[in-house]
């Protein structure tokens, strides 16, 4: 007997028929004798609709009320799944984040989980063989008791946090693909599924654009050593042997990966914007005058490129910010113009960041150089580059994203045979 967390994303619970399919997956595990906690997302498209309603009500709204609205999507699916399970003679009860509770920080719309109380769930596993159906994405602020949400894609994080709290043997993330691929399989049909991915690599893949797992869920998995298994909810529940090894990807410690490739995967993100400040004064304190106010405005600056001044007086400085923060960033820099001292500000939102990730890069030189050559041969211009130990990223025109991803995917031998 094992204790399992099973998380189902939006497309897997998109309507009552799919919820019935999810219930069959849950029943399969219960019948095999396992203790099960299920975490559900809202029906696909629901959270987008709720977010749009908040914006329609008032473009600038109170994040506490945003959370009250958007958390409702998960409440519906948790209740529906518990109803369907009961109908299949599986003992089940739904739980909202505040009922457990899942305590969070007060960063409404992007709250961090601080503590999860799983005691009641475990008691009910033992006493009533009851399946816990928990609304993902939501929690409760530790002090005010108000509903919070964990940021988009946050149900993954709910699942891993609950798995850690109840000491689950495994956290299965059921989604609309059967695992983590070398890149988004919807963009590159030649992408292949990875059997195992190290936490560190998954962290980079997720934070650089692969939305299959929320970044925070991978961080939590790494800290608490939760075995995360990404698999498909569309496999027929009755075809799966609960004691066998289904297709999927295990996110695990690096030491478990025997055959390490140099490059594991490629991620990309079009949610980027570029800002170039022309003829900035080249003197001490200028970087602080630019990035200080951006940090104060809670804007995450990513890539930074500063040229060496040719005349000793002025230089150009380029950086990227999330596309959603572009206008705010321009506003912050324009207001700080007096302190910074520059001639002109140029911006672009039609840019994309393509990143190549692999733990093997630690011990291999020249991996990035190969990419620059391959992109050049496709006439793709690189606007900025950043590198770190296990990844490098290039900023390019958004129109070339797919071409760049496909080119690099082939270059590093990731295309499936």
Q: What is the binding site for ligand ADP (CB under 6 A)? A: 9-12, 41, 153, 175-177, 180-181, 183-186, 210-212, 265
- Residue 265: closest CA among 205, 214, 216: 205
Residue from 118, 139, 153, 209 in contact with Mg ion (CB under 5 A): 153
Of 19-27, 152-160, 226-234, 303-311, the window that binds Mg ion (rule: CB under 5 A) is 152-160
**Cβ atoms < 10 Å from Cβ of 288:** 12
Q: Note whether 153 binds ligand ASP by CB under 6 A.
A: yes
**Strand segments (E) across 259-365:** 265-281, 304-306, 314-322, 344-357
Q: What are phi and psi of 267, to 5 degrees?
A: -120, 155
Token pair 């400040």 in the structure block, residue: 277
Q: Measure the CA angle with vertex 377, ends 374 and 378; round to 5°.
A: 95
Q: Note whether 47 binds ligand ASP by CB under 6 A.
A: yes
CB 352 within 8 A of CB 272: yes
CB of 8 to ligand ADP, least distance (A): 7
- Residue 11: closest CA among 211, 306, 304, 309: 211
- Residue 191: closest CA among 269, 267, 271: 267
CA–CA gap between residue 7 and residue 38 (Å, rounded): 6
CB of 212 to ligand ADP, least distance (A): 4
108-147 footprint of Mg ion as x/- string (CB under 5 A): ----------------------------------------
Q: Note whether 265 binds ligand ASP by CB under 6 A.
A: no
Question: Would you say 179 or 358 has its CB closer to ligand ASP?
Answer: 179
CA–CA gap between residue 294 and residue 375 (Å, rounded): 32
Q: Note whether 9 binds ligand ASP by CB under 6 A.
A: yes
CB of 368 to ligand ADP, least distance (A): 20
For residue 239, the number of C-alpha atoms closer than 13 Å in the C-beta half-sphere is 8
Select the binding partner of residue 204 from Mg ion, ligand ADP, ligand ASP, none (C-beta < 5 to 8 A, by kind): none
Of 40-48, 89-97, 109-117, 345-353, the window that binds ligand ASP (rule: CB under 6 A) is 40-48
Q: Is 396 helix (H, G, I), strand (E, B) or coil?
A: strand
CB 141 within 8 A of CB 111: yes
- Both tokens of residue 372? 């620059």
CB 265 within 8 A of CB 201: yes
Select the binding partner of residue 272 from ligand ASP, Mg ion, ligand ADP, none (C-beta < 5 to 8 A, by kind): none
CB 192 within 8 A of CB 377: no
Residue from 24, 152, 170, 328 in contact with ligand ASP (CB under 6 A): 152
Q: What strands, in cross-sheet order, belong to the sheet with 304-306?
A: 304-306, 314-322, 265-281, 344-357, 391-397, 384-388
CB of 93 to ligand ADP, least distance (A): 23
CB of 51 to ligand ASP, least distance (A): 9
CB of 75 to ligand ASP, least distance (A): 11
Q: Note whether 358 binds Mg ion by CB under 5 A.
A: no
Measured in whole angstroms, the distance separating CA 23 from the mean position of its chain's CA atoms is: 25
Q: Note whether 73 binds ligand ASP by CB under 6 A.
A: yes
Q: Note whether 179 binds Mg ion by CB under 5 A.
A: no
Of 150-158, 165-173, 277-285, 305-313, the window that binds ligand ASP (rule: CB under 6 A) is 150-158
Which residues here bind ligand ASP, judged by CB under 6 A? Answer: 9-10, 41-42, 47, 73, 136-137, 152-156
Which residues here bind Mg ion, judged by CB under 5 A? Answer: 9, 153
């Amino acid at each position: 007997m094992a204790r399992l967390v099973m998380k189902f994303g939006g497309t897997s619970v998109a309507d009552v028929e799919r919820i019935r399919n999810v219930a069959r997956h849950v029943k399969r595990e219960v019948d095999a004798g396992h203790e099960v906690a299920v975490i559900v997302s809202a029906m696909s498209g629901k959270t987008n609709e709720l977010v749009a309603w908040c914006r329609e009500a008032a473009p600038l709204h109170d994040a506490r009320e945003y959370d009250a609205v958007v958390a409702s999507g998960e409440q519906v699916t948790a209740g529906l799944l518990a109803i369907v399970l009961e109908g299949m003679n599986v003992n089940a009860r739904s739980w909202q984040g505040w009922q457990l509770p899942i305590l969070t920080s007060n960063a409404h719309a992007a709250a961090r989980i601080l503590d999860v109380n799983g005691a009641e769930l475990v008691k009910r596993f033992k006493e009533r063989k009851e399946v816990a159906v928990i609304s993902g994405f939501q929690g409760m602020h530790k002090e005010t008791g108000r509903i919070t949400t964990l940021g988009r894609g946050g149900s993954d994080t709910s699942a891993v946090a609950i798995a850690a709290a109840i000491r689950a043997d495994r956290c299965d993330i059921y989604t609309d693909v059967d695992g983590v691929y070398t890149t988004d399989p919807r963009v590159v049909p030649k992408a292949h599924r990875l059997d195992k991915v190290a936490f560190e690599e998954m962290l980079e893949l997720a934070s650089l654009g692969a939305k299959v797992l929320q970044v925070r869920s991978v961080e939590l998995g790494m800290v608490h050593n939760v075995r995360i298994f990404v698999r498909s909810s569309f496999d027929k529940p009755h075809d799966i042997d609960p004691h066998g090894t289904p297709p999927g990807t295990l996110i695990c410690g690096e030491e478990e990966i025997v055959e390490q490739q140099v490059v594991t995967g490629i991620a990309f993100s079009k949610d980027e914007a570029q800002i170039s400040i022309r003829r900035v004064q080249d003197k001490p304190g200028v970087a602080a005058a630019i990035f200080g106010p951006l940090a104060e405005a809670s804007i995450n600056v990513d890539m930074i490129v500063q040229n060496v001044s040719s005349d000793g007086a002025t230089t150009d400085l380029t950086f990227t910010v999330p596309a959603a923060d572009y206008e705010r960033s321009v506003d912050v820099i324009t207001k700080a113009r007096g302190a910074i001292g520059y001639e002109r500000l140029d911006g672009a939102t039609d840019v994309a960041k393509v990143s190549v990730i692999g733990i093997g890069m630690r011990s291999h030189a020249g991996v990035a150089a190969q990419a620059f050559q391959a992109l050049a041969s496709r006439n793709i211009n690189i606007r900025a580059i950043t590198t770190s130990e296990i990844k490098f990223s290039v900023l390019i025109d958004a129109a070339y994203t797919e071409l760049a991803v496909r080119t690099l995917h082939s270059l590093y031998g990731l295309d499936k045979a």
